[in-house]
Amino acid sequence: MLKIAPSILAADFARLGQEVDDVRAAGADYIHFDVMDGCFVPNISFGLPVLQSLRRATDLFLDVHLMIERPGRYVERFCQAGADLVNVHVEAGSTEELLKAIEAVKALGKKAGVTLKPATGAEAIEPFLPLIDLILVMTVEPGSGGQSFMLDQLPKIAAVRERIERLNPACELEVDGGITPSTAALAKAAGANVLVSGSAVFGAADRRAAIRALRGA
Ligand code: DX5
Ligand code: ZN
């Protein structure tokens, strides 16, 4: 079944614990945690101390999306702060650095993911695919919520799914950015099995109905 990962970037940070409890009760599978450093992307969001607090507040699976330069410098600290899975961007460091970062995450008993910006081709995942638990395909330019889904990413989602089936069928395929009930259906048809959603879940008056709509149920 399709998993839904609400992005807390669209939550009310003054009541973050309640927001997470609320989407959990509404049927969320994961919580997506968007870390921005003001360098890899123009915005700054939140980081380690917020993750630590959130870890104490929920036992929901925490999917951490690091939009930071040279993430290898920080992955161990994000694992120790409570991440269940750490995503690094393939554009954020050298292949060697990123392979080391993935090894460090796995050595701490956590899951590792690799993320692709819209301009990066599906082939970029090949050096990492045998080692990882999740691939995250961005369907907006990373850096902010509330943007429109880039339809030109659909063939890439299908190309990533084809590589997963061939090289590491247990790997999950997550899609992030501009997910609404209609784009959710397109992403699912192209091969995604986890959908991140910020505004369509946290911005909805009825979050249970919003999550159900994203699942297509
Ligand atoms: C964008 C973030 C997304 C964002 C999605 O840089 O990675 O996770 O919160 O927000 P929506 O669902 O509003 O596009
Ligand atoms: Zn994200």
Q: What is the mean pLDDT of each run of 10 residues along the chain (217 residues)?
A: 97 98 98 98 98 98 98 98 98 98 98 98 98 99 98 98 98 98 98 98 98 94
Atom of ligand 1 nearest to the CA of 178: 14
- Is 133 one of the annotated active-site residues of the chain? no
Integer angstrom CA distances of residue 33 from 9, 11, 30, 37, 95? 7, 11, 10, 13, 24
Distance 33 CA to ligand 2 centre (A): 7
Q: Does residue 180 line the site of ligand 1, with CB under 6 A?
A: no
The reported pLDDT for the residue numbered 196 is 98
**What are the structural domain ranges in the chain?**
3-215
Residues with CB under 5 Å of ion ligand 2 are 34, 65, 176
Which residues have a Cβ under 8 Å from the Cβ of 205 and sit 6 or more positions away? none
- Give Dmax over CA atoms of the chain in angstroms: 45
CA dihedral 95, 97, 103, 108 (to 10 degrees): -140
- What is the C-alpha separation between 41 and 173, in angstroms, rounded? 22
The sheet that has 3-6: what strands, in order across it? Answer: 3-6, 194-197, 172-176, 134-138, 111-116, 85-89, 61-67, 30-36
Fold of 3-215: TIM Barrel (3.20.20)
Question: In 3D, which of 118, 16, 113 has the Cα closest to residue 66?
Answer: 113
The reported pLDDT for the residue numbered 106 is 98
- What is the C-alpha separation between 104 and 60, in angstroms, rounded? 22
> Rounded to the nearest 10 degrees, what angle do helices 207-215 and 181-190 cross at?
30
The reported pLDDT for the residue numbered 43 is 98
The reported pLDDT for the residue numbered 217 is 77
The reported pLDDT for the residue numbered 1 is 87
Atom of ligand 1 nearest to the CA of 36: 6
Helices vs strands, H then E, count in the chain: 8, 8
Q: What would the two tokens of residue 172 be? A: 């999950």
Atom of ligand 1 nearest to the CA of 177: 14
Instruction: Tell me which of 29, 37, 133, 176 is the catalytic residue.
Output: 176
Cβ atoms of 157 and 191 within 8 Å: the answer is: yes
